[in-house]
Amino acid sequence: MSDYVAENPLIVQSDQTVLLEIHSPRAEAARDAIAPFAELIKSPEHIHTYRITPLSIWNARAAGLNTDAMIATLREYAKYPIPEGVAQEIQALGRRYGLAVIERDEIGLLLRVADAPLAELLARDRHVAPLLGERVNGQVFRVRLGVRGLLKQALVAIGYPADDLAGYSAGQELPLRLRETTGGGGPFVVRDYQRAAAAAFHQDGQAPGGSGVIVLPCGAGKTIVGMAVMALVQENTLILTTSQTSMEQWRRELLDKTDLPPDAIAEYSGRHKDTGPVTLATYQILTWRASREDEFVHFGLFHARSWGLIIYDEVHLLPAPVFRITAELQSRRRLGLTATLIREDGLEKDVFALIGPKRYDVPWRELEGQGWIAAADCTEIRIAQTPERDMEYALAPRRNQFRIAAENPRKRGMVKDLLKQEAGHRILVIGEYISQLEELAADTRFPLLTGKTPQLERERLYQAFRERTVPGLVLSRVGNFAVDLPDADVLIQVSGKYGSRQEEAQRLGRVLRPKKDGRRARFYTVVSLRTCEEDFARHRQLFLTEQGYSYRIEFG
């Protein structure tokens, strides 16, 4: 073929997938060029797969990239001529972004659309029309303040994402400065990618900045990005987290790396119902209600102060009720922090509409190559059950089979073998079922932390691990999130939540903090042979191989 360019690394296919040959001399440049508008699907050893989707195009358009530049990039790096249909689809999707614009005038909000046919389409759409107010003229509608988020959701759903230029209400002032030295006296420097992420979100305080999602690997310092954004915004901030432990980590980091005094940081939780210039709360307390028929009594927190910024930590886990209240909070700046935009419930479009588009993203392996997170080796160990256990599994109702496989008693022996093999390392053992974890805690003599462990005791044990007075910990699902144990370098997973890619990312993240001596992290998953656990493990391992981690299977 005359248009064949041997050194080019991309193969663009008519189904909107893009293959990247990573051994090509132009691979790195091509990867950087397509990352803003193509989603990385998988990245094993030789060929990485990207997909062009409506959301990936709209995220790129929101970041200021035009469709001609996207198509030119594909043509520059493609080994073969790109299918014309792909170029046409990029143009069609890209042109849709911004055909509807939300603006503000002296009276309130307006929806301005690009042409009369689109105005008629929206005015007759059964989801959009009820959210539109008075028709000011042929292409402009009034919008009630309270439906700004719902309208953005509805427009994304029908394929016309709004460019929201209405800006934000000013919050109460909060003077905040990042330190140059930590509270312990050591130097503190915001890394280049953390500073770039904060700037990409803030955009000098101008629309369309002020809402969106930052995607960084576990261990890459998303909390520091949040604090850097706070230092740019300088207004009262509400920080929503996944757990009490996460709240405590945010508190420690704020006191260690900013000039905020302790009394400026308040906690709204099951223990305290306080608010302050910076308020920490959990998703659990916000979504508590006495029964399904009752109201969410703690949603008043969102209106308790004049918030200038709301930070959603682990935004990929945002509960549906918090999405609903967020739809009413579009006049507040909203920052989502996450290691992955994958949602098991498929609500990525709602994250885009209600929190904002992806503003910044760095692949795991790129930060690993720069030494900001630890390199990791992932190993799955498959072990047989006893014949009696196999029969129990075969006869059990399908809903019970996973637990039987997960609690395979032979896993205890494998964990003991791994502890001998990894003696001297900082070890975490993590699993799903408390009875299994209690047995492993007895075997290993490691402290056990579960959801029932009091918060003060959790903090004491985490600190003991950091100070090396205990060699390891056994953790239930409480270990999935925001556990700051930077010296942990071995994780043994004995059971998980079915095939959850989210959980796999979070658990791997527990051992990805860079090690002072540069040693590699090790991530072991112990799986029962000839059971559904193998199928779920296959789904979970796919996430790791897609991120570019080597994944070895052994038989115990």
pTM comes to 0.83
- Clarify whether residues 227 and 347 are in a common domain: yes
- Clarify whether residues 61 and 113 are in a common domain: no
Angle among Cα 328, 194, 321 to the nearest 5 degrees reads: 25
Cβ–Cβ contacts within 10 Å for residue 396, how many?
14
- Which residue type is seen at 10? L
Total domains, the chain: 4
- Cβ neighbors of 413 (< 8 A, separation 6 or more) are none
- Clarify whether residues 74 and 52 are in a common domain: yes
Domain membership of residue 61 (yes or no) is: yes
Four-point Cα dihedral 190, 193, 195, 201, nearest 10:
-150
The DSSP string of 350-393 is HIIIII--EEEE--HHHHHHTTSS--EEEEEEEEPPPHHHHHHH
Dihedral sign (CA 374, 546, 362, 503): negative
- Cβ neighbors of 507 (< 8 A, separation 6 or more) are 430, 479, 480, 491, 493, 496, 523
C-alpha distances in Å from residue 88, one per residue of 54, 115, 230, 238: 13, 21, 41, 43
**204/425 Cα distance (integer angstroms):** 45
CB 245 within 8 A of CB 267: no
Phi, psi of 347 (to 5 degrees): -95, 30
- Clarify whether residues 451 and 321 are in a common domain: no
Residue 309: how many CA atoms within 13 Å on its side-chain side? 29
Domain membership of residue 529 (yes or no) is: yes
State the residue for tokens 């910024």.
309
> What pLDDT, on the 0 to 100 scale, is given for residue 416?
96
**545/369 Cα distance (integer angstroms):** 16
CATH number of the domain bearing residue 310: 3.40.50.300
- Clarify whether residues 76 and 111 are in a common domain: no
- Clarify whether residues 325 and 296 are in a common domain: yes
- Cβ neighbors of 486 (< 8 A, separation 6 or more) are 466, 513, 514
- Clarify whether residues 77 and 225 are in a common domain: no
Instruction: Among 304, 332, 362, identify where a domain stops.
Output: 362
Instruction: Among 309, 341, 362, identify where a domain stops.
Output: 362
- Clarify whether residues 115 and 204 are in a common domain: no
Per-residue pLDDT tens listing for the chain (556 residues): 457 898 999 999 999 999 999 999 999 899 989 989 998 887 777 898 999 999 999 999 998 899 999 999 999 999 999 999 999 999 999 999 999 999 999 999 999 999 999 999 999 999 999 999 999 999 999 999 999 999 999 999 999 999 999 999 999 999 999 999 987 778 999 999 999 999 999 999 887 889 999 999 878 899 999 999 999 999 999 999 988 888 999 999 999 999 999 999 999 998 889 999 999 999 999 999 988 888 899 999 999 999 999 999 999 889 989 998 999 999 999 999 998 777 767 788 999 999 999 999 887 778 888 888 888 888 999 999 999 999 999 999 998 999 999 999 999 999 999 999 999 999 999 999 999 999 999 999 999 999 899 988 998 999 999 999 999 999 998 877 656 777 899 999 999 876 566 677 677 777 877 777 778 899 999 999 999 998 888 777 766 766 667 788 999 8
- Clarify whether residues 247 and 288 are in a common domain: yes
**330/164 Cα distance (integer angstroms):** 10
- Clarify whether residues 390 and 268 are in a common domain: no
Q: Exposed, middle or buried, 321 (CB in 10 Å: 0-12/13-18/19+)?
A: middle
- For the record, the structure tokens of 139 come out as 């292409």
> Which uninterrupted H or E stretch holds 338?
strand 333-338
- Domain span at residue 417? 372-555
C-alpha distances in Å from residue 276, one per residue of 210, 239, 306, 411: 22, 11, 10, 48
> What pLDDT, on the 0 to 100 scale, is given for residue 1?
45
Domain membership of residue 186 (yes or no) is: no
- Clarify whether residues 141 and 30 are in a common domain: no
Instruction: Among 71, 96, 121, identify where a domain stops.
Output: 96
**21/258 Cα distance (integer angstroms):** 44
- Clarify whether residues 420 and 283 are in a common domain: no
